[in-house]
Amino acid sequence: MYEDNGVLTTGEVATRLGVGRRRVQALIQGGRLKAHRAEPAELAFLLEAQRIRSVPAAGLLLIYALDLGAVVDRPSGYPKGRPRKTNDGSNDGR
C-alpha cells in the first residue's frame, strides 16, 4: 500500500505559493522546482483520498513538499533597480 510521503499536486502547490497552475508548470519546466510523474500507486492514493477527481491523459506531476523551499524563499515582484524593457525592446527608464 502507498503511504503519503509529502507529495503535492501542481494545484496544491499553486495554492500554497499563491500563484496559478501555469506558473507552477513554468517553474518545473525551468528547472526551479523538481517534480515527477505520478506512479499508479500514487494515483490510486490521491483518488481515494479525494485530492484529485480524475487522472489527466498526460499524467500527473507531483512535487515533494520539501522541495518547495527552492521557490518559497524568493522575493516577489520585479527586482528593484533592474530596468524593464518596453515592447520595442528598449528600456523605459524606470
C-alpha cell at 83: 530596468
For residue 43, give the DSSP letter.
Answer: H
Write out the chain's pLDDT in tens, 94 residues.
456 678 999 999 999 988 899 999 999 999 999 999 999 999 999 999 999 999 888 889 999 999 988 887 666 677 777 787 777 766 655 5
> Rounded to a whole number, what is the distance in angstroms from the first to the last CA of the chain?
57
Phi-psi region of 23 (alpha: psi -120 to 50; beta: other; left: phi over 0): alpha
pTM listed for this prediction = 0.72
What does the alpha-carbon distance between residue 45 and residue 58 come to, in Å, rounded to a whole number?
A: 18
